[in-house]
Amino acid sequence: MKYKSQKVAYWFFALSMLLLVLQIVYGFVMGFARIGFDNLHNFIPFNTARAVHTNLLVVWLLSGFMGAAYYIIPEEAQKELVSVKLAYVQLISLALVGVTAIVGYHFNYWEGRKFLEIPRPLDYLVVVNVLLFLGLILTTLFTGKRRTTTALVLSMGLLFAALLYLPGMLPFDSQVTDSFFRWWVVHLWVEGVWELIMGGILSFLLIKLTGVDREVIEKWLYVIVGLTFLSGVLGTGHHYYYIGVNKIWLVVGGIFSALEPLAFLAMALFAVNMYRKGEKKHPNKLALYWTLGSAIVSFVGAGLLGFAHTLPQTNLYTHGTLVTAMHGHLAFWGAYAMIVLAIISYALPNMTGRKLYESSRGRAAFWLSNIGMLGMTVAFGVAGVAQVYLERKFGMEFMLVQKEISIHFVVLILCATMFTTGIVLYIVDFYKHGLPTDEALEIQE
Amino acid sequence: MLSKKQARAFFLGGTLVTFLIFIGLTVYSLSSSTDQTNHENLTDSVVRGKEIWESNNCMGCHTILGEGAYYAPELTKVVDRLNIKYGGNGEEVIKSILMSKTPWQPNGRKMVAYGMTEQEATDVVAFFNWIGEIDLNGFDRIVSPLAKDKINK
């Protein structure tokens, strides 16, 4: 750690970990409901559990991205954060808005629009919160000693993520146009600007961990985010095939979303090659595991599994089935959850001065969570494919099909238990690091 | 060999061009000559139905237009499907489920008892009927095997 103000990142990471645990709890509520144990239905019906599960994912990832920015930007700009106090204000207000939204979901207080369930009044608070965050980050960056590509790409991703939140707040009377512009937020976030954030964090980590020249890493960063946008923006069309808009999207969405895996392939090759090229043997192997793991798993989850159902001919049958849940889980895990866990693994020893990265607990956390998530993905995939055949090909009724495939959710719960064990070990490691301290300033990274 | 400046130009140029095309296609697909969103048949009742649909987060269990949570049945063409199953009384069945004060449990999977008024239930049905008339590029037939049989007859 080079700057005192970087310590604020710790609390964003801690909030992330807390929300991740809650997200997993609600995931289990849904998993058990699917195999017939929905005893909590009166307090947490499935739609509540679902909204909480997906919204907590968004909030803990955003909190992780914000923590990453508070850690990375001072170091890249070579300047203390302009105001640590305001950063804490932003953290507390983020937590308050998040908690209010989550509690509200238990009392039928929501918007009921997939992924964007936060009620409108809270939306405005999110906007204020994010503006404060961006103000702090951008002022630090533009008054700093240097403006690196890594910092610019990361900040650009955060800025565009904020701007793209706005189309989701437009009111529409038609379900079709409502859905159309909802994807401007959801798709252009996760298959667009969030990848800038991921790319920025990945680039920072690779520079630190491999010792490869910054100019080389940042050049390829541009190529990768370029490929991401080239395919991802028009790839939005894969959400428009069957929601009631023109057939032109079948062609455009089909072609460009088929190109989307290329961006993820490039990112995986880039990360692995930089690691091979690197002469620096950074002792924090755990951070390296998570960093390379993120690049590789995101290619499999977001790239390959996305491609598996993105062509219109396939999507006609898989649209609105558990096949989407299969892709969604591994994609979010690989691309975003793992990169947040990577930056935490890297930053934590630097902020606290405790180098716990040699422990077997950390490696067990990595492998258990990854193997568990892979098992969950397979369970969702088998259930999804069976659903497609039984319901869409053979015309069985939805609920009868659900009974047939419920066994796959037993497998899902078993794999989720393994995954959770990994996450618990990660959090034990987090806790064992203790609190950030100024004494860590003197320690060489 | 590619320079960093060229890589940046590729990123900025590619993003700008694809985003402009994206905006153009959005305008094209929603303009009146190519619009297929069934916008002209939106009534006050349909809009109220959509508000009820959203304020109760129905999408948190069901899917509509293939979007939702995959826990409860797809509701695109639901009136058609239930008409076939219940001898033309599809709308009445839906309304009775929505107005029920006790939880509905088809095959053991529970639905929240919303206890809606007659008017609210009618609005939700109007919303389903409006959804059922949208041209979905073929998905309407795939998603609803019973409706598909009806179309094939």
pLDDT in tens, A87-146: 999 999 999 999 999 999 999 999 999 999 999 999 999 999 999 999 999 999 999 999
10 Å CB burial of residue B150 (0-12, 13-18, 19+) is: middle
Closest CA of chain B from A84, distance in Å? 32
Record: contact B57-A225, CB cut-off 8 A: no
Identify the residue among A175, A179, A270, A324 best suited for mutation to test binding to B, counting B beta carbons within 10 A and taking the highest.
A175
- Region class of B77: left (phi > 0), else alpha (psi between -120 and 50), else beta: left
Residues from chain B that touch A403, judged by Cβ atoms under 8 A, are 107
What whole-number distance in Å separates Cα of residue A28 and Cα of residue A276?
A: 39
Cβ neighbors of A268 (< 8 A, separation 6 or more) are A295, A296, A298, A299
Record: contact A243-B59, CB cut-off 8 A: no
Record: contact B36-A114, CB cut-off 8 A: no
Record: contact B137-A41, CB cut-off 8 A: no
Closest CA of chain B from A98, distance in Å? 18
- Tokens encoding A75: 């170091």
Closest-approach residue (CA) in chain B for A217: B4
Amino acid at position B58, single letter: C
Question: Which helix (DSSP H) or strand (DSSP E) does residue B64 occupy?
Answer: strand B63-64
What whole-number distance in Å separates Cα of residue B71 and Cα of residue A409?
A: 12
Query: What are φ and ψ of residue B63, in 5° steps?
Result: -120, 155
Identify the residue among B57, B63, B84 best suited for mutation to test binding to A, counting A beta carbons within 10 A and taking the highest.
B57
Q: Return the DSSP state at A333.
A: I
pLDDT at A59: 96
What whole-number distance in Å separates Cα of residue A198 and Cα of residue A187?
A: 15
pLDDT at B145: 55
pLDDT at B108 over 80: yes
Identify the residue among A34, A150, A176 best suited for mutation to test binding to B, counting B beta carbons within 10 A and taking the highest.
A176
The mean-pLDDT minimum among A72-81, A284-293, A428-437, B79-88 falls in B79-88
Domain boundaries, chain A: 1-140
pLDDT at B104: 85
Average per-residue pLDDT for chain A? 96
Closest CA of chain A from B31, distance in Å? 10
DSSP assignments along A201-233, one per residue: HHHHHHHHHH---HHHHHHHHHHHHHHHHHHHH
Cβ neighbors of A213 (< 8 A, separation 6 or more) are none
pLDDT at B1: 79
Res. B149 pLDDT band, cuts 50 70 90: low
Closest-approach residue (CA) in chain A for B52: A112
pLDDT one-digit tens code per residue, A206-263: 999 999 999 999 999 999 999 999 999 999 999 999 999 999 999 999 999 999 999 9
Closest-approach residue (CA) in chain A for B11: A226
Could you tell me how many residues make up chain A?
A: 445
Record: contact B4-A391, CB cut-off 8 A: no
Record: contact B3-A219, CB cut-off 8 A: yes
Percentage of chain A surpassing pLDDT 90? 96
Closest by Cβ to A244, choosing from B38, B61, B71: B38
Closest by Cβ to B66, choosing from A149, A218, A320: A320
Mean pLDDT value of segment A328-345: 98
What whole-number distance in Å separates Cα of residue A15 and Cα of residue A70?
A: 14
Closest-approach residue (CA) in chain A for B38: A244
Closest-approach residue (CA) in chain A for B111: A45
Record: contact A241-B139, CB cut-off 8 A: yes
What whole-number distance in Å separates Cα of residue A63 and Cα of residue A61?
A: 5
The mean-pLDDT minimum among A22-26, A140-144, A147-151, B139-143 falls in B139-143
pLDDT one-digit tens code per residue, A66-85: 999 999 999 999 999 999 99
Record: contact B71-A34, CB cut-off 8 A: yes
pLDDT one-digit tens code per residue, A379-422: 999 999 999 999 988 889 999 999 999 999 999 999 999 999 99
pLDDT at B25: 98
Amino acid at position A188, single letter: L
Task: Using DSSP, state whether A411 is helix, strand or coil.
Answer: helix
Record: contact A245-B30, CB cut-off 8 A: yes
Closest by Cβ to A243, choosing from B65, B109, B112: B65
CB B142 within 8 Å of CB A316: yes
For residue B104, list its beta bridge partners.
Answer: B111
pLDDT at B152 over 50: no
Closest by Cβ to A233, choosing from B2, B18, B108: B18
pLDDT at A23 over 90: yes
Closest CA of chain B from A234, distance in Å? 6
pLDDT at A444: 63
- Region class of A189: left (phi > 0), else alpha (psi between -120 and 50), else beta: alpha
Classify domain B40-152 at the CATH topology level: Cytochrome Bc1 Complex; Chain D, domain 2 (1.10.760)
pLDDT at A270 over 60: yes
Closest by Cβ to B107, choosing from A241, A324, A399: A399
Residue labelled with tokens 């959801």: A186
CB A411 within 8 Å of CB A353: no
Closest by Cβ to B7, choosing from A219, A230, A243: A219
Query: What are φ and ψ of residue B74, in 5° steps?
Result: -60, 135
Percentage of chain A surpassing pLDDT 70? 99
Closest-approach residue (CA) in chain B for A387: B70
pLDDT one-digit tens code per residue, A39-52: 999 999 999 999 99
pLDDT at B147: 46
What whole-number distance in Å separates Cα of residue A356 and Cα of residue A430?
A: 9
ipTM of the complex: 0.94
Residues from chain B that touch A227, judged by Cβ atoms under 8 A, are 14
pLDDT at B88: 92
Domain boundaries, chain B: 1-35, 40-152
Average per-residue pLDDT for chain B? 91
- Tokens encoding A122: 């809270």
pLDDT at B153 over 60: no
| Helical ranges in chain B per DSSP H | 4-30, 44-55, 78-85, 90-99, 118-132, 139-143, 145-152
- The number of C-alpha atoms within 13 Å of A287 and in the hemisphere containing its C-beta is 26
The mean-pLDDT minimum among A13-27, A341-355, A372-386, B103-117 falls in B103-117
Res. A358 pLDDT band, cuts 50 70 90: confident
